[in-house]
A and B are shown apart, each in its own frame.
Chain A
Amino acid sequence: RAEEEAVFSRRNAAVCFCFRDRKEWADLEPVPQDDGPNPVVKIAYSEKFSDVYDYFRALLKKDERSERAFALTAEAIELNAANYTVWHYRRVLLQALSKDLREEMRYITNIIEEQPKNYQVWHHRRMVVEWLGDPSEELEFIAQILSQDAKNYHAWQHRQWVIQEYKLWDKELAFVESLLEDDVRNNSAWNQRHFVISHTTGFSEPAVVERETQYCLNQIRKAPHNESVWNYLKGMLQDRGLSSQPGLLEKVLELKETHCSPYLLAFLFDCYEDALENGVPKDSLDQGCQETLEKALEICKLLAQEKDTIRKEYWQFLGRSLQDRYGGEVSPGDATPTAPASEPQQIS
């Protein structure tokens, strides 16, 4: 008996229990895909795939609104969760059949867990949440997905939508902080930090800027070669002007001795550039201005030639640009390349 069963299940696994063999579907004529006589990019669909989608096409053609259609959409989705036509149809059926949306939430939760990098699944979840008018499970669910991949773009997008739509700002900064404790290099978390603050207190309040600056400097001391924190610091201060923060330049110059990095140097350059841009003396012959220009150009050269050579072209451009804008005379060394070569130059 046991042997017979083993053989039976082995055989079943190989043969697909297709819709075309099911009597409850006998009334429906499957619709094969119309690829035309000379197909291109023809996919060698499995028997199961063809079967399910032949029946999907049949249902779509009839615009059938039934339980069996609903059940079939789940099969079609399992075979290709990126088929947005199937998802649309499923949503139509959800409404037409007044399906239990709580159950649909459970369904979409599972699908997202399996395929968290798919656009359609997250959009579907958003629609169901909107229909229910109930975001109460969202933050926890998204946190769960982020615990598996803390940078999932769709997850963050859904999270921002939920927070903004339902005004759930309250605990988000704390959530961000916990993610940054896990991984201070998580750029998505730094972005969320910026998102929360700009939509709540804003960055105009000096107390906020002071607190955030302190936070950044602390993180920099712990891990200086973290580009995210430097970008955040600059991003927060750039509208006001980097040179507007009293004492910041000095702190960065201190850090340069013990916690240097290409990011610190770039930040320093930005401070100098901002000072030139917004500094009181506009006269290019002014001594202070000349000194600042020289310091900025020195950093450009250091980055281009030694510390950030992959961006050499960029740093050289910035140097030339700065020289142009604030320099009195052309300085030798970083001259604009002259006439281009007329033959292809091979590096081989």
Chain B
Amino acid sequence: MDGIPTPLRCFSEQHSAEMFVDDGVETVTSREQKNVERIIEETIDVYKQMHSLPQPTLLREQHYQYLKKGLRHLSDAYECLDASRPWLCFWILHGLEILEEPIPPAVASDVCQFLGRCQSPTGGFAGGPGQHAHLAPTYAAVNALCIIGTEEAYGVIDREKLLDFLWSLKQPDGSFTMHIGGEVDVRSAYCAVSVASLTNIITPKLFEDTTNWILSCQNWEGGLSGVPGLEAHGGYTFCGTAALVILGNEHMLDLKALLRWVVSRQMRFEGGFQGRCNKLVDGCYSFWQAGLLPLLHRALFKDGELELSRQRWMFDQQALQEYILLCCQNPTGGLLDKPGKSRDFYHTCYCLSGLSIAQHFGNMEHHQEIILGKEENRLAPIHPVYNICPEKVAQALQHFLRLPVPTDLRQPGVSGDTKSSEPDSAYAEPQS
């Protein structure tokens, strides 16, 4: 498709009319928002001056080098993520898979072995070798292993122990703590449901009442909160919705209210998404928020909705691509929250994931690509529920569905109570 490049939305004359209107009433919120808009405007102006033809380019090679290096070595700035190393594996491997960069078999095997060392003898994965198991690194580890997708990778997961681990976190009200003696919020439901479904360990009682608990997180705003009562938030909304999709109960949400809430989270000036109403744009919400639209599209379709578009998601795909490509790329590799922020692997993962969603529309019959910039900007499509490539999801399911579901006679609330009764003994270091 050669010819005149598509005009960028952020270059149009009407774009500045989208800036925040503070009605002469200045507050912290309006000051912060106007500040960000000013920085975005500057960023766009700089881009305009540097490039005569507006052809935003994904800095593939730079991102690839950044990810490739990080998979082996990280500076001491990453000490703060020493309890999240499976996350680092997932963020980086997912970045590489979206960029369609191959993972050398030796590296893949090393990741498998490392994640094996992160696995707890009592089930689940920890943030690092010798640490306690936690649902977040468990989610990340299982996803990373599914991205690798080899027999070795699948074989790392101790399914029986994983089921034990999930049970140990289950609360009587259907929720899950993130780790023994840890906090409860809707992330845990998503992490638990995601790993259990991929590895085929779901037993009839495991997620009893979990659906109702997640539903109680949908609030007056239409989105979901971390726990019932709190503000609707993109990350938590994604977790709750995706978990319900896996459980087949997404129709029990007020889908219309949720749809209204999430589409309202796209920023009219910046083009990216905010996490909560009246807060700032952040590149990572390109996935957590925009990722809801494929989920809702499918949910509404299943609900009998006849007027869904067959070409587009219900958000401005071009505007999001513009935000990510013009405002969220570090020229030396890696992606970020917004201009002025530092790059990191979390933002690299989620900006790329969001960019993929913005590029690819698809349902059962229809597939439509909208690639802003050169064709080389095209990323691999991702599965909006698990956030790994659809082929990897299918492959993992195929592998684990052949294995028997572990036998399960358990009831919830046996251990792992969030209240005072934490287990007395500190967890002894496993010998691996």
| A residues with CB within 8 A of B | 31, 33-36, 38-46, 49, 53, 57, 60-61, 63, 65, 79-85, 88-89, 91-93, 95-96, 119, 122-123, 126-127, 130-131, 150-151, 153, 156-157, 160, 164, 182-188, 191, 194-195, 222-228, 231-232, 235-236, 238, 261, 308-314, 316-317, 320-321, 324, 336-337, 339-341, 343-348
- Chain A CB within 8 A of B159 CB: no
Chain B residues contacting A84 (CB-CB under 8 Å) are 83, 127, 131-132, 134, 178-179, 182
| B316 lies within 8 A of A194 (CB) | no
- Our pick among A36, A43, A85, A232 for the contact of B74 (Cβ within 8 Å) is A43
Residue in A closest to B365 when the chains form the complex, CB atoms: A340
| B28 lies within 8 A of A183 (CB) | yes
- Our pick among A38, A61, A95 for the contact of B110 (Cβ within 8 Å) is A38
| A80 lies within 8 A of B74 (CB) | no
Q: A42-B73, A60-B130, A84-B83 are in contact. Are A345 and B313 (CB under 8 A)?
A: no
- Chain A CB within 8 A of B342 CB: no
Residue in B closest to A47 when the chains form the complex, CB atoms: B76
| A89 lies within 8 A of B426 (CB) | yes
Chain A residues contacting B126 (CB-CB under 8 Å) are 85
Q: A40-B111, A85-B126, A227-B264 are in contact. Are A61 and B83 (CB under 8 A)?
A: no
Chain A residues contacting B114 (CB-CB under 8 Å) are 35-36, 39-41
| B259 lies within 8 A of A337 (CB) | no
Chain B residues contacting A224 (CB-CB under 8 Å) are 23
Interface string of B121-139 (1 = CB under 8 A from A): 0000011111110100000
| B28 lies within 8 A of A41 (CB) | no
A227 to B317, CA, bound (A): 22
- Our pick among B25, B130, B264, B424 for the contact of A222 (Cβ within 8 Å) is B25
| B366 lies within 8 A of A91 (CB) | no
Chain B residues contacting A185 (CB-CB under 8 Å) are 27, 29-30, 278
Chain A residues contacting B222 (CB-CB under 8 Å) are 235
- Chain A CB within 8 A of B413 CB: no
A236 to B421, CA, bound (A): 39
Chain A residues contacting B13 (CB-CB under 8 Å) are none
A227 to B363, CA, bound (A): 32
A80 to B127, CA, bound (A): 12
Chain A residues contacting B366 (CB-CB under 8 Å) are 340
- Chain A CB within 8 A of B338 CB: no
| A228 lies within 8 A of B181 (CB) | no
A91 to B368, CA, bound (A): 53
Q: Supply 21 A–B pairs (Cβ within 8 Å), ascending by A.
A: A41-B72, A43-B79, A45-B82, A49-B76, A57-B429, A83-B131, A84-B127, A85-B131, A156-B231, A157-B185, A185-B27, A187-B279, A191-B220, A222-B25, A231-B221, A238-B220, A309-B14, A317-B308, A341-B311, A344-B368, A347-B371
| B76 lies within 8 A of A43 (CB) | yes
- Our pick among A38, A81, A123, A227 for the contact of B278 (Cβ within 8 Å) is A227
Residue in B closest to A312 when the chains form the complex, CB atoms: B316
What distance in Å separates the Cβ of B77 from its nearest Cβ neighbour in chain A? 9
In order of increasing CB-CB distance, the 9 nearest A-B pairs are: A235-B220, A347-B6, A344-B369, A185-B29, A320-B307, A183-B27, A61-B429, A41-B88, A225-B21
| B311 lies within 8 A of A63 (CB) | no
Central interface residue in A127, A153, A314, A348, by most chain B CB within 10 Å: A348
Residue in B closest to A185 when the chains form the complex, CB atoms: B29
Chain A residues contacting B179 (CB-CB under 8 Å) are 84, 88
Q: A36-B113, A61-B428 are in contact. Are A88 and B259 (CB under 8 A)?
A: no
In the complex, identify which listed stretch (B41-49, B197-205, B209-217, B373-381) lies at the interface while the others stay far away: B373-381
Chain A residues contacting B309 (CB-CB under 8 Å) are 313, 316-317, 336-337
Q: A184-B27, A310-B266 are in contact. Are A348 and B181 (CB under 8 A)?
A: no
Q: A31-B429, A312-B316, A320-B307 are in contact. Are A187 and B422 (CB under 8 A)?
A: no
- Chain A CB within 8 A of B389 CB: no
In the complex, chain B residues 100-118 whose Cβ is within 8 Å of any chain A Cβ: 106-107, 110-111, 113-114, 117
- Chain A CB within 8 A of B402 CB: no
What distance in Å separates the Cβ of B307 from its nearest Cβ neighbour in chain A? 4
| B1 lies within 8 A of A45 (CB) | no
| B residues with CB within 8 A of A | 1, 5-6, 14, 18, 20-23, 25, 27-30, 55, 70-76, 78-85, 88-89, 92, 106-107, 110-111, 113-114, 117, 126-132, 134, 178-183, 185, 219-222, 226-227, 229-233, 257, 259-260, 263-264, 266-268, 271, 276-279, 305-316, 318-319, 366-375, 378, 419-420, 422, 424-429, 432
Chain A residues contacting B30 (CB-CB under 8 Å) are 185
Chain A residues contacting B277 (CB-CB under 8 Å) are 187, 227-228, 231
What distance in Å separates the Cβ of B56 from its nearest Cβ neighbour in chain A? 8
| B74 lies within 8 A of A42 (CB) | yes
| B432 lies within 8 A of A41 (CB) | no
Residue in A closest to B373 when the chains form the complex, CB atoms: A348
A79 to B77, CA, bound (A): 11
Additional A-B contacts beyond A313-B312, A337-B310 (13; CB < 8 A): A36-B114, A38-B113, A40-B111, A43-B81, A91-B422, A126-B183, A131-B420, A183-B28, A186-B28, A226-B23, A238-B220, A317-B314, A347-B372
| A44 lies within 8 A of B84 (CB) | no
| B308 lies within 8 A of A40 (CB) | no
What distance in Å separates the Cβ of B134 from its nearest Cβ neighbour in chain A? 6
A344 to B369, CA, bound (A): 5
A61 to B131, CA, bound (A): 11
A119 to B310, CA, bound (A): 41
| B429 lies within 8 A of A43 (CB) | no
Chain B residues contacting A60 (CB-CB under 8 Å) are 130, 426-429
| B74 lies within 8 A of A123 (CB) | no
Residue in B closest to A79 when the chains form the complex, CB atoms: B79
What distance in Å separates the Cβ of A93 from its nearest Cβ neighbour in chain B? 8
A184 to B110, CA, bound (A): 52
Chain B residues contacting A81 (CB-CB under 8 Å) are 80
Q: A310-B316, A313-B312 are in contact. Are A188 and B368 (CB under 8 A)?
A: no
A339 to B311, CA, bound (A): 9
Q: A40-B89, A313-B316 are in contact. Are A336 and B426 (CB under 8 A)?
A: no
Chain B residues contacting A194 (CB-CB under 8 Å) are 219-220
- Our pick among A122, A123, A236 for the contact of B220 (Cβ within 8 Å) is A236
A231 to B422, CA, bound (A): 41
| A324 lies within 8 A of B429 (CB) | no
| A88 lies within 8 A of B73 (CB) | no
| B71 lies within 8 A of A40 (CB) | yes
| A150 lies within 8 A of B28 (CB) | yes
Chain A residues contacting B130 (CB-CB under 8 Å) are 31, 33-34, 57, 60, 85
- Our pick among A88, A191, A195, A226 for the contact of B181 (Cβ within 8 Å) is A88
| A85 lies within 8 A of B427 (CB) | yes
| B72 lies within 8 A of A336 (CB) | no
| B307 lies within 8 A of A317 (CB) | yes
A119 to B372, CA, bound (A): 38
